[in-house]
A and B are shown apart, each in its own frame.
Chain A
Amino acid sequence: GENVEQHPSTLSVQEGDSAVIKCTYSDSASNYFPWYKQELGKGPQLIIDIRSNVGEKKDQRIAVTLNKTAKHFSLHITETQPEDSAVYFCAASIGSGGYQKVTFGTGTKLQVIP
């Protein structure tokens, strides 16, 4: 099955700096890559996603890049703010039987220091 590795496991940045989280996946058939933000006591919330036919996608301060050849994808957060502090999960998904079966990474705990 699919295996997703994520690093770093923890990341501390000063407010206003950028944060980068990197992931790799194992199954070349994966075609959808969502990123989720999880705050304490809450369920994961989708923040951005990218499909395998796109190399980069940006939404305000958040961008994601995908390198299909290397099976790498990354999340970039610019101008970080204290409210960005949370655990971030990357995921890789394969369309199977009409639905997307999602495999999550192990998470990155981001701390933005005011």
Chain B
Amino acid sequence: GAGVSQSPRYKVAKRGQDVALRCDPISGHVSLFWYQQALGQGPEFLTYFQNEAQLDKSGLPSDRFFAERPEGSVSTLKIQRTQQEDSAVYLCASSLVVGTQYFGPGTRLLVL
């Protein structure tokens, strides 16, 4: 079946704008993760969902970051009042309850 998809692939925002990034996980995958990948770095954990429940949001860098997965499938990562330091690739991954995480292609966010 299809892998993890993310949209948009690229997003340019002016500082102060709100953005919403979408993730469509692999069908049937209970677990969904969001990561932030700065240029030249490894992905860093942001948050974790098991079905619709957000069980771990310890990696969200500030209260401007908000994620949801209301029906236990598609997830949206929202960043309010974007800042230049938010520029990064945002990766979504999904897995069965426990197991290999399959990553999407990422959304590259550039805040000007």
Do A99 and B98 form a contact, CB below 8 Å, given A41-B105, A43-B106, A44-B103? yes
Contact in complex: B31, A99 (CB < 8 Å)? yes
Interface string of B1-42 (1 = CB under 8 A from A): 000100000000000000000000000000101000000111
Quick check: is B45 within 8 A (CB to CB) of the other chain?
Answer: yes
Q: Which of A44, A99, A107 has the most CB of B within 10 A?
A: A99
Size category of the A interface is: 20 to 34
Which residues of chain B come closer than 8 Å to A95, judged between CB atoms?
Answer: 98
Size category of the B interface is: 20 to 34
Contact in complex: A106, B55 (CB < 8 Å)? no
Q: How far is the CB of A9 from chain B (nearest CB, A)?
A: 9
Contact in complex: A34, B100 (CB < 8 Å)? yes
Contact in complex: B103, A100 (CB < 8 Å)? no
Contact in complex: B100, A49 (CB < 8 Å)? yes
Contact in complex: B48, A43 (CB < 8 Å)? no
Contact in complex: A97, B91 (CB < 8 Å)? no
Which residues of chain B come closer than 8 Å to A89, judged between CB atoms?
Answer: 42-43
Contact in complex: A46, B100 (CB < 8 Å)? yes
Q: How far is the CB of A98 from chain B (nearest CB, A)?
A: 6
Assembly CA distance A102 to B94 (angstroms): 13
Question: Which A residues form the contact surface with B (CB < 8 A)?
Answer: 4, 6, 34, 36, 41-46, 49, 89, 91, 95-107
Nearest 7 A/B pairs, CB to CB = A104-B42, A43-B103, A44-B103, A43-B105, A89-B42, A104-B43, A43-B104
Question: Which B residues form the contact surface with A (CB < 8 A)?
Answer: 4, 31, 33, 40-45, 48, 50, 55-56, 91, 93, 95, 97-106
A42-B105, A89-B43, A99-B48 given; name 8 further pairs at CB < 8 Å.
A43-B105, A91-B42, A98-B98, A99-B97, A100-B95, A101-B48, A102-B33, A106-B41
